[in-house]
Each structure stands twice: as C-alpha cells, then as structure tokens.
Structure 1
Amino acid sequence: MIRRVEGSNIPRSSSTTLRRGFSTEIASESVADEAFVSPWKKTIPNIEPPKTPLSYMKTRPPTPSAIPTKLTINFVLPYASEQASKEVDMVIVPATTGQMGILPGHVATIAELKPGLMTVHEGNDIKKYFVSSGFAFVHANSIADIIAIEAVPIEQVDQAAVQKSLAEVTQKLSSASTDLEKAEAQIGVDVLSALNFAVSG
C-alpha cells in the first residue's frame, strides 16, 4: 500500500519508515551515505561524488552502563576551539531558562544560551568565561558540546570599559527615536549588563 506524505508529493510505503541513524550508530568514520552515493555513481560515473555529512561524522562513544566520574566537554566558537574533549567535574552555563549545571550522567538536553557567565569546574580550578549566546548540547553519554557565538575569559575583561560602554548604550536607549535604534540599544544594554554583572561578581 502506498500513501502520500502530508504536504508532499513523495509516495511512501506504509510498511516502511524512513529513519536517519544517530552518530552513535555509525559503524566507522569512513561510512558513506550509500543512499546518495549509489545513485550518483549510476547517473554520473565519471565524477567522484561529493562528501556527505556522514563522511565527516565521528562515532560517539556509547552511553555507559554506570555514571562516569567526569564530564567530557567540547567548547567551541566559530573561529576557535577553546576546549576539546576536556574532562571536567561540572560546567555551569547561562541558559535562557536560568543557570544550568551539567554533571556527569546529565539527561540529554539542548539549552539555548543567553549572555552570561559560564564556569568550568575541574577540581579546585574554576575557569570563567563570558559567553554572548549559543547552545549547549548535553548527550546521554556524559559529553557536552557547548557552542558559543562569542566568549572571552573573564580575567581579560576590563570592568571600567564595560561600565563606560554600558552607560553609553543606556543613554542611546533613552534617546532612541526609531524601533531599530531601540532594538540595537536594548541588545547592547542586555549584553553589557550581563557582562558587568559577571565581572563584578
């Protein structure tokens, strides 16, 4: 029996369900997406098929049966990798729903980040970053991927410069005449207020 998918002209068999595998289910890094590669080779045999996303995906370690003692984090920015496969005790991120602590064995979660202080705890060592925005992807196998648009170690921030900039954007907000000016000034106030709170705390 053939049925049509709602909002689509693609007929699908009702006895089969199309499903993409998770990265933990990929046999190896060299696995190619045969559903794409095979038709390509039949249609264009003289040109090598382009790489598919599966060609670049690394296999995630399986979810352990017991909760590990460490959390593995990958903390990346668009232009740099701050920490890669770093084993830590805990990470606290500024989620839009509030401060969120991530420990080993944390339930799988996706959290949107807001401007605020992120702390990485490794024994008695606490590394503090100010992050502007981004996402935290917490996996069931005690791995957390934290992707930030911008981040800076808190010790590199000049508090006097932050307070001066905050006063300037607050003045711009009060004198803004258009919606665009108000929106731009409000973003500045939100980010700089969070940054000022992070450096003063």
Structure 2
Amino acid sequence: MFRHASRFLIRAAAGDGRSHGRTSAIAVARAFSSDVPAAPSQDTAFIEAWKKVAPNIEPPKTPLEFMKPRPPTPSAIPPSSPSTSSLPYQSEISSKEVDMVIIPATTGQMGVLPGHVATIAELKPGLLSVHEGTEVTKYFVSSGFAFIHANSFADIVAIEAVPIDRIDPSLVQKGLTDFTQKLSSATTDLEKAEAQIGVDVHSALNAALSG
C-alpha cells in the first residue's frame, strides 16, 4: 500500500481540485524558511489527503514540521545580520549576529549587509570575510552557495571552508608550481581540466593569503 501512497495522495488532491471546479494541475506552494511561522506547523493539505487514503494510520511528519522557525521580515533594516556557515560535516558559524559578510560569488565579491535584497549566489574559490565590529574572521571557501533571505538571514553552504590562518603559504606556492607544470605537460582533456582546477584553486588561495 505504501508503495502506491503517493499515487493515492495525488488522486485525492486532484479530486479536491475537481470538486471546486479546477481542472488544471494543482501546485502546492511550499513556504520559504523566512516564511515559516513562529511555531512548527503541519502540512494540512498533506494530512487531509493522507486521512482519506489511510484513516487508521497516523500520518508521517513532513519537512515543514522540522523546519526551524525564523523571525519574519522586519519593517526596518536591522542593526546586524544573523549568519550561518555550514559544511557537509560541520557548522562553522551558527546563527551568529554579524555586521557584514563578504562572499566570493562567481559574479564578483559580494558584500552582505543587514537589509540586503534576497539573493542566491554561487560561490567560487576565494576569501569569505565575516565582520563583527572591529573583528574580521577570514575563511577560504572552495565552492558552494550563499542564500540571502529577506529577513536578513544569510545561509552560506560551502564544500570546504578553512580559516585563513590555518593555510601554509609554502604549501600553496608548491601546489601552484606543481599544477602549473602539470597543465603545461597535460596531453588529454581530462589532464588539462584537472590541472586547470588545481591552478585556479591555488591561485585563489595565493590571492587570499596575500590579501
């Protein structure tokens, strides 16, 4: 039965649409993280559809119930911007109130201040700066995405992020030299692509250290 649950639920939702005179496909709008209410809520449309096909079984929890509530979009620009920086294996920054974050977007360096317009930006290898008063914490990020929400929350999801003071400049120079040599001697497209990635990353590392 559970293997066909999604089909049954779609039929139930479609039936509701027909009963209200709607013949077009039904699209269920999901809330953005900045639109989540103050308390966890249930996906009422899913719960109602579930009860129609399995009234004796408790409905499973939906992603909406696990989403962490966030404050609504303020009417005025807040004094600081809560930021979160996450890696696949750990969280570097967790909802920290900061004055500004400068991210290495593929379109160029992007400064994120409180009240920034909602944006999604792809990250390239480069320097990520977190400004908190007079203190500036710098990380080197390899790639990822930055999600700037309308309520001034900034979520930065990177594949790798290393504090800049943990990077050995001599190893960066050695890596840049090695990959430059590999690029000049590469004979296949794969070898050229791998060597070019190495050159680009180590060049970005070198620029981050010198900056």
- Normalising by the smaller structure, the TM-score range is 0.7 to 0.9
Quote the Cα distance in structure 2 between the aligned partners of 1:105 and 1:28.
Answer: 21
Aligned CA RMSD, in angstroms, stands at: 2.2
SS in 1 for 2:73: coil
Query: Counterpart amino acid of 2:74?
Result: P
Asked whether the 8 Å contact 1:116–1:131 carries over to 2, the reply is: yes
Deviation track 1:51-102 (CA, whole Å, cap 9, x = no partner) reads 3211211222111111111111011111111111101111100000100001
Residue 159 of structure 1 contacts residue 200 of structure 1 at CA under 8 Å; is this kept in 2?
no
Q: Quick check: 22-31 or 50-59, which moved more?
A: 22-31
Which residue of 1 is the match for residue 196 of structure 2? 186
User: Which runs of no fewer than 5 residues in structure 2 stay unpaired?
Assistant: 1-13
Q: Which residue of 2 aligns with 1:75?
A: 85
CA distance in structure 2 between the aligned counterparts of 1:17 and 1:189, rounded to whole angstroms: 45
Residues 92 and 101 of structure 1 are in contact (CA less than 8 Å); yes or no, is this contact kept in structure 2?
A: yes
Greater helix fraction, Structure 1 or Structure 2 = 2
Change (3 A) 1:24 1:114: closer
Q: 3-state DSSP class of the match of 1:51?
A: coil
Q: Deviations over 1:102-128 (max 9, x none)?
A: 111111111110000011111111101
TM-score by length of 1: 0.86
- The alpha-carbon distance between structure 1 residues 37 and 88, as it changes in their structure 2 partners (threshold 3 A), is same
SS of 1:170's equivalent in the other structure is: helix
Among all aligned residue pairs of Structure 1 and Structure 2, give the percentage whose two residues are the same amino acid: 67
Pairing 1:94-113 to 2, within 5 Å after superposition: 94-113=104-123
1:149 aligns to 2:159 (yes or no): yes
Q: Post-superposition shift, 1:146?
A: 0.7
Are 2:83 and 2:153, in contact at CA under 8 Å, matched by a contact in 1? yes
Conserved 8 A contact 1:93-1:101: yes
Task: Report the CA distance between 1:174 and its aligned residue.
Answer: 1.0
Q: CA deviation at 1:158?
A: 0.2
Q: Specify the SS of the correspondent of 2:29.
A: coil
Distance 2:117 2:40 in 1: 30
Amino acid at match of 2:37: A
Match of 2:186 among 155, 171, 176: 176
Which residue type is aligned with residue 72 of structure 1?
Answer: P
What is the distance in 2 between the residues matched to 1:112 and 1:39? 37
Give 1:42 deviation, angstroms: 4.0
Q: Is the CA contact 1:120–1:126 (under 8 Å) kept in the aligned structure 2?
A: yes
Q: TM-score, normalised by structure 2?
A: 0.82
Q: Which residue of 1 aligns with 2:124?
A: 114
Query: Take 1:24 and 1:101, find their aligned partners in 2: how far apart are those partners?
Result: 20
Distance 2:39 2:140 in 1: 34
Instruction: Please name the residue that 2:142 is paired with.
Output: 132
Gaps of 5+ in 1: 1-9
In 2 relative to 1, CA 23–161 (structure 1 residues): closer, same or farther, beyond 3 Å? closer
2:98 pairs with 1:88: yes
